[in-house]
Amino acid sequence: MTFSFVLSDSLYGQFHKFKHGQACDTAIVENLLNLYRAPHLTNVEQLKRLNISDSALVSQLAQAGFNDQNLKNISKQTVFKIVLDETEKKDHYVNILVDELRSDYTITCLPGSNRSKATEFLKAQLENAQDVFLYDCFFAKNWNLAKRFFADLLPNKKLTIYFSESHLSGKEPQIKGFFSKWTIKQDKAKLQYRKLHDRYLLIDKKMEIIISSGFDNLFDTQKECTLVIRDLRQNQAGGGQK
């Protein structure tokens, strides 16, 4: 069997209570579930420390040689080679409250593949948007394809479109030509995006979508394009993940 990772004693204890309908720290469990991928690996000694009685699991672990090793060592036998915890930040440990590791949705479009799943997903997210922020320093250079983002995906409704620095300078009249009621503004507040390599779409300050190779590649079936979708509300509610 292939295991994803190891849980620290405290996390395993909370997870075990959650699975068995017992009182647990719901905030900790929510953060754990945001990263959890079954199954996790444990050993006989950890089960003893937590007073978890499961004779079948103990027998299975003992036969596989997972007896009394420390958590760092058994984590080396997992896919991700980490121990999830809510306090530690040392080697091989990932703090579920503050560390950078995330579990995000992704859509990858390979060269020659159909883009409808990606574009329909974006269209659905944008349908009720009040404002969007676009970051792509090659927007103007790749305008022939990139303009389809406005023509095909943005809703024909009142909407404020923010862009970074000079990425859309000179293109405002063409954008307004797609729908005259859009408001187009240069954004001077989101400094965290400055000088970044990837391209970003921020919807209502709630959802951030990284477009790995540019808005234009959403519509170029000869190129590869990957979307990384992050629910910023979940990250903020989940203990301050960045």
Kindly write down the DSSP assignment for every residue of 20-47, as one continuous string: TT----HHHHHHHHHH--SPPB--HHHH
Is residue 31's pLDDT more than 70? Answer: yes
Q: Please choose, from the candidates 203, 215, 207, the residue with its C-alpha nearest in 3D space to the C-alpha of residue 160.
A: 203
Q: Is the pLDDT of residue 43 over 70?
A: yes
Q: Residue 167: give the domain boundaries.
A: 105-237
Q: What is the pTM of this model?
A: 0.79
Same domain, 90 and 114: no
- What's the mean per-residue pLDDT of the chain? 91
Residue 145, helix vs strand vs coil: helix
Calculate mean pLDDT across residues 147-158: 96
Instruction: Give the pLDDT score at 236.
Output: 54
pLDDT of residue 193: 84
Residue 102 has a pLDDT of: 84
- Quick one: 62 and 118 in the same domain? no
Domain boundary, last residue among 95, 128, 146: 95
In a domain, 242, yes or no: no
pLDDT mean over 64-69: 96
In a domain, 100, yes or no: no
Which residues, 6 or more positions from 30, have their beta carbon under 8 angstroms from its beta carbon?
A: 237, 238
Examine the domain organization and report whether 58 and 26 are in the same domain: yes
Q: Are residues 133 and 232 in the same domain?
A: yes
How many domains is the chain built from?
2
Distance CA 143, CA 56 (A): 62
Return the sign of the alpha-carbon dihedral for residues 42, 48, 54, 57: positive
- Identify whether residues 118 and 200 lie together within a single domain: yes
Contacts of 240 (CB under 8 A, 6+ apart): 97, 98
Is the pLDDT assigned to residue 241 strictly greater than 50?
no
Q: Where is the domain boundary, 95, 129, 161?
A: 95
In a domain, 1, yes or no: no
The enclosing H or E element of 6 equals strand 6-7
Claim to verify: residue 230 and residue 128 sit in the same structural domain: yes
**Per-residue pLDDT for 84 more than 70?**
yes
The reply to whether 146 and 232 lie within a common domain is yes
- CATH number of the domain that 152 lies in? 3.30.870
User: What angle, rounded to 10 degrees, do the helices at 9-19 and 26-35 form?
Assistant: 100
Q: Which pLDDT does position 234 carry in this prediction?
A: 62
Residues 112 and 204 in one domain: yes
Taking a C-beta distance cutoff of 8 angstroms, is the pair 92, 74 a contact?
no
Per-residue pLDDT at 239 exceeds 60 = no
In tens, the pLDDT along 95-128 reads: 999 888 888 899 999 999 999 999 999 999 999 9
Cα 136 from Cα 140, distance rounded (Å): 9
- The arithmetic mean of pLDDT across residues 217-238, rounded, is 83
- Among residues 37, 72, 95, which one ends one of the domains? 95
Domain match, 80 and 114 both: no
Q: Tell me, yes or no, whether 74 and 44 share the same domain.
A: yes
